[in-house]
Amino acid sequence: MVQYHRPELDRVFGAVADPTRRAILDALARGPARITDLARPFPVSLNAISKHVKILERAGLVARDVVGREHYCRLETERLREAAAWLERHKAFWESRLDALARHVTKRRQAERRAAVRRRGDAGAAHARARTGASR
């Protein structure tokens, strides 16, 4: 179940981790656009957008058609599909595992409670004493 390193996933997830790049992808969903068009709504330089597009390209999320001096960018959905599949698969798996664990813990808790009642007192097992995290 633990698979070997897949650099495409690094690049795809790395690419969509940036809000500007997600916005660029959204813009491209409206149809192909040139670098200049893509850059217009953003408060950053044209060069910055050019770099972002290059990153999206390396991630395989965007392709470009060069027409004279103009570069038309368009979405490329295959890699996105792969990334979505990875997330979906893991989400499903993790959730089922968590359910299984929850059932297991519940069963163990019941067993512990019965044992504690038998012995009387000291109802708190180590698990119950855990100060649960998310401290920030």
Partner DNA sequence: ACATAATTCAACCGAATGGTTCAATATCAT
Partner DNA sequence: ATGATATTGAACCATTCGGTTGAATTATGT
Residues within the interface to its own copies (CB under 8 A): 1-2, 5-7, 9-10, 13-14, 16-19, 22-23, 25-27, 29-32, 57-58, 63-67, 71-72, 75, 77, 80-81, 83-84, 87-88, 90-91, 93-95, 97-98, 101, 126-127, 129-134, 136
Give min distance, CB of 96 to DNA, in A. 25
Is residue 71 within 8 Å of 35, Cβ to Cβ? yes
Q: How far is CA 99 from CA 77, 92, 127, in A?
A: 32, 11, 18
Nearer to its own copies, 51 or 127 (CB): 127
Nearer to its own copies, 31 or 117 (CB): 31
Q: Name residue 18's amino acid.
A: D
Q: Furthest-apart CA pair in the chain: how many Å?
A: 84
Is residue 30 within 8 Å of 36, Cβ to Cβ? no
Nearer to its own copies, 9 or 116 (CB): 9
Give min distance, CB of 95 to its own copies, in A. 6
Q: What is the DSSP string of 102-118?
A: HHHHHHHHHHHHHHHHH
What does 1 interact with, of its own copies, DNA, none (CB < 5 to 8 A by kind)? Answer: its own copies
Residues contributing to the site for DNA (CB under 7 A):
14, 17-18, 20, 34-37, 43-48, 50-55, 64, 67-72
Dihedral over alpha carbons 21, 22, 27, 28 (to 10 degrees): 80
